[in-house]
């Protein structure tokens, strides 16, 4: 029997449509057959671990920072970092383009740099002269308008050719060039020696597009219509329903 791998987005994907228990039961059944299941998210590793534990999602791997950092169990498989020299240019870009919050992800946690209140006043969580420009896996900014967020993603690509800009609703994630969820899943599949045709992915937002286009893919029903167009295997009401379909289609292979 071929070994399969599923990489699932978390926010807006796991438990969609109040089907969390259905998802968990299907994941257990999938893994019981020797297949691999894990979460892939724009969250930082600590945040993703906390959500995985809170919702009780059984996992073989956790991939955070939009495919930049991956743990298999407790073992770090890979971590792709952006150089410390890019820290201040990117933070200033997000600040001056109107971001309401800027945070930077590192392997050992996340630093909230500043946030902007409703009156436009900026509060620095860490005083600027104490911002430490170490290498980082992701810098993120929150914008009030998703359309503005999309526009800033395009501007970031022009201004900073050494990065990848990944918008998701009102959040813009900036990661090292060439990193996205597709790159992370491909690196993970190679580690497990699983053919990319035996890898399935599921998501719901714009930062999932690269992996949706690269692998057999599903999109959940609550996703934007233009994201749904990227599903190669169809639209699914839940991760659990997707798993049942995959197991049915691959039975006996």
> What is the pLDDT at residue 253?
63
Q: Which long-range contacts (CB under 8 A, 24 or more apart) does 91-96 make?
A: 91/131, 91/139, 93/156, 93/159, 93/160, 94/139, 94/141, 94/152, 94/172, 94/174, 95/122
pLDDT, tens digit, for every residue of 212-245?
A: 999 999 999 999 999 999 999 999 999 999 999 9
Is the same domain home to 63 and 133?
no
pLDDT at 106: 81
Please answer whether residues 224 and 207 qualify as being in contact, where contact means their C-beta atoms are separated by less than 8 angstroms. Answer: no
Distance of CA 124 to the CA centre of its chain: 26
Q: Which of 176, 198, 223 is the last residue of a domain?
A: 176
- At residue 42, the pLDDT reads 94
Note whether 189 and 105 are same-domain residues.
no
pLDDT at 196: 93
Tokens 């150089």 belong to 83
Domain membership of residue 43 as a residue range: 5-80+179-250
If asked whether residues 233 and 185 sit together in one domain, one would say: yes
Same domain, 76 and 89: no
Same domain, 92 and 213: no
Contact 26, 244 (CB under 8 A): yes
Q: Could you tell me the mean pLDDT of each successive run of 10 residues in the chain, 253 residues long? A: 94 90 97 98 93 96 96 95 94 94 85 88 88 92 93 95 92 95 98 96 96 98 95 97 95 69
| Domain match, 151 and 229 both | no
Is 185 in the same domain as 152? no
The pLDDT assigned to 252 comes to 65
- Let me know whether 161 and 127 are in one domain: yes
Neighbour tally for 19: CB within 10 Å: 18
Burial class (CB in 10 A: 0-12, 13-18, 19+), 49: middle
Domain boundary among 153, 176, 199: 176
Is the domain of 90 the same as that of 18? no
Same domain, 170 and 184: no
Domain count, the chain: 2
**Domain shared by 75 and 198, yes or no:** yes
CATH (domain of 157): 3.30.1240.10
pLDDT digits over 56-80, tens only? 999 999 999 999 999 999 999 999 9
In a shared domain, residues 12 and 52: yes
pLDDT of 126 reads 87
Q: Of 118, 144, 176, which residue is a domain's last?
A: 176
Q: Are strands 69-72 and 75-79 parallel, antiparallel or unpaired?
A: antiparallel
| CATH (domain of 219) | 3.40.50.1000
């Amino acid at each position: 029997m071929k070994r399969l791998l599923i990489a699932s987005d978390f926010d807006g994907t796991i438990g969609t449509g109040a089907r969390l228990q259905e998802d968990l039961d299907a994941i257990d059944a999938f893994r019981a057959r020797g297949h691999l299941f894990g979460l892939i998210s724009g969250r930082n590793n600590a945040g993703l671990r906390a959500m995985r534990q809170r919702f009780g999602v059984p996992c073989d791997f956790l991939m955070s920072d939009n495919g930049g950092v991956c743990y298999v169990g407790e073992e770090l498989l890979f971590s792709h970092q952006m150089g410390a020299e890019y820290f201040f240019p990117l933070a200033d870009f997000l600040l001056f383009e109107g971001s309401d919050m800027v945070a930077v992800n590192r392997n050992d946690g996340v630093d909230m740099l500043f946030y902007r209140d409703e009156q436009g006043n900026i509060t620095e969580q860490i005083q600027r002269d104490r911002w430490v420009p170490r290498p980082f896996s992701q810098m993120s900014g929150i914008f009030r308008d998703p359309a503005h967020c999309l526009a800033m993603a395009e501007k970031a690509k022009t201004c900073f050719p050494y990065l990848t800009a990944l918008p998701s609703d009102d959040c813009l994630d900036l990661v090292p060039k060439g990193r996205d969820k597709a790159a992370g899943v491909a690196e993970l599949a190679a580690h497990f020696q699983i053919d990319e045709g035996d890898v399935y992915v599921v998501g719901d937002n714009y930062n999932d597009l690269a992996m949706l286009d690269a692998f057999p893919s599903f999109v959940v029903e609550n996703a934007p219509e233009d994201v749904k167009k990227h599903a190669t295997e169809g639209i699914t009401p839940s991760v659990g329903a997707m798993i049942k379909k995959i197991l049915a289609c691959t039975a006996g292979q």
